[in-house]
Amino acid sequence: MDYNTQRKKLRLPEYGRHIQQMVDHIASIEDRDERNRLAKSLIAIMGNLNPQLRAVNDFRHKLWDHLFIMSDFKLDIDSPYPRPDVEKYYEKPRNVPYPSHPVKFKHYGRIIELMIEKAIAMDEGPEKEAFKQLIANQMKKANITWNKESVTDDDIFRDMQTLSNGRLVMAPGSKLIDKREVKPTGGKRPKHHRKR
């Protein structure tokens, strides 16, 4: 029996074994004009097999690149686009630096800390007060989402002061969103909405 695991590995499996065999056949043809003619026909077939590529800018360029990749860059044809760089294709991707900044309160996340830094840098005035209110409301939503327990406005104000090293203090009498305004997460419906 002939199993796929025993066959030659496909370079781009999304095109399938038949397209790979056509590419191999084109590469074996001696006549350059015939190779060019068959390559153009194969590009049209590859475009029909993968219509989702049409959403990509310059999708024909991508198809020609795929053709060269499937031939292991050995196909000698006249392409309307420059050949892809072999070294660039095989080079390992660079490591993505992982943020090493410690987060004081994980349930608030790094974005809240960045927002607080931005608020500290702002000039005093109604815009800064409105921004502080938005941050505090977001902190309350995050706290409710993760803790599922009642959290008071004073708890949020205290956390905001801690995160800002005492530089952001909410005005006396400030009120945050009510717990009932925070939508439940996790895909579960509240009990009173469940079907019986």
* Residue in the structure block whose two tokens are 């990509």: 56
**pLDDT at residue 183 above 70?**
no
52 in helix, strand or coil? helix
pLDDT at 77 over 60: yes
Query: pLDDT digits over 8-50, tens only?
Result: 788 889 899 999 999 999 999 999 999 999 999 999 999 998 8
Inform me whether the pLDDT recorded for 121 exceeds 90. yes
For 140-149, the pLDDT digits (tens) are 988 888 776 7
Whether the CB-CB separation of 153 and 175 falls below 8 Å is answered with: yes
- Tell me the two tokens of residue 196: 């019986």
Q: 72 φ, ψ to 5°?
A: 60, 35
Q: Check if the beta carbon of residue 116 is closer than 8 Å to that of residue 159.
A: no
- What is the percent of the chain with per-residue pLDDT over 70, rounded to a whole number? 89
